[in-house]
Amino acid sequence: MTARVEEIRLNLPHVELAAHLYGPEDGQPVLALHGWLDNAATFARLAPKLEGLRIVALDFAGHGHSAHRGAGAGYQLWDYVMDVLLVAEELGWQRFSLLGHSLGGIISMMLASSMPDRVERLALIDGLVPYVGEAEQAPQKLGEALQAQLDLRTKRKPVYATLEQAVEARMKGVGDVSREAAELLAVRGLMPVPGGYTWRTDARLTLPSPLRLTRAHARAFVEALRCPVDLVVAEQGMLASEQLLMTWLTLLPITVHRLPGGHHLHLDDEAGAQAVADCFNRAFAVP
């Protein structure tokens, strides 16, 4: 993790995003998208091991060092998709590839399927389709989401007296991570407040979705993909236990790589990062 990384800012029309920049200026253009409540540091081990790529690893809006969305705005999947497209416009990239983990993999898939002329290749880590909901559940789910928005006004973020306490909390968060991984994410994800530290992330990120895609929607998106797709499935991750999805993948033109490790296998240790890099380096080497 000693490779040179540059911190940059991207001024979109509606929000300012932070990012890490890796690789040679003439490398293949790649936007790297992290998972829910993570940040650009999720690629700190992996990005230096990827060869010949110009990687812009974003902090999504509301995450890491990026700005939060304005009052009244939300964090729906399509909002992230538009952000990524606007980043490409800001960089002057007409065609580019996407490297996505978890939520970042879902955003990558949705952008590639809806704007196939813009995306060269997908390299995904334990993320492909969103959580789905069927039509008959929609009224109840919307009501729950609206109530959660009202309740958020009286909630406060947790405050940790020490960095160590925050790191331990992150180790037990969404997708258990190793201590080193939690430290990397925490350094970028925390800010000092009276009494200790709290997360920089926008509290609205924890709200339930007011509307979910149906299973038919999700399948239509994946079947609309036209670019090469390499998907790493962690054996102890979130996708491996989805038997219906794993069966479905066998029917699609997606190259699946099953690797040992958890949901954050690309960040937990150097061996996991190298295993993922080996898969993706082979993929990106194909003309």
Instruction: Tell me which amino acid residue 3 is.
Output: A
**Catalytic site includes residue 241:** no
Instruction: Tell me which amino acid residue 152 is.
Output: L
What is the rounded CA–CA span in Å between residue 2 and residue 118? 32
Q: Using alpha carbons, list the distances in angstroms from residue 245 to 128, 129, 216.
A: 10, 9, 13
Buried b (16+ CB within 10 A) or exposed e, 266-284: bbbbeebbebbbebbbebb
Please return the burial class of 51, using the count of CB atoms within 10 Å of its CB with bins 0-12, 13-18 and 19+.
Answer: middle
Q: Which of 66, 102, 108, 113 is catalytic?
A: 102
Paired tokens of 283: 């993929």
Q: Using alpha carbons, list the distances in angstroms from residue 243 to 136, 216, 220.
A: 24, 17, 19
What is the rounded CA–CA span in Å between residue 35 and residue 5? 20
What is the rounded CA–CA span in Å between residue 78 and residue 63? 16
Task: Map tokens 């958020």 to a residue.
Answer: 152
> Is residue 122 within a helix (H) or strand (E), and if so which, with residue range?
strand 119-125
For the chain, how are helix, strand and coil distributed in percent, rounded to 5?
Answer: 40, 20, 40
What is the rounded CA–CA span in Å between residue 69 and residue 229? 31
Give the catalytic positions in this structure: 102
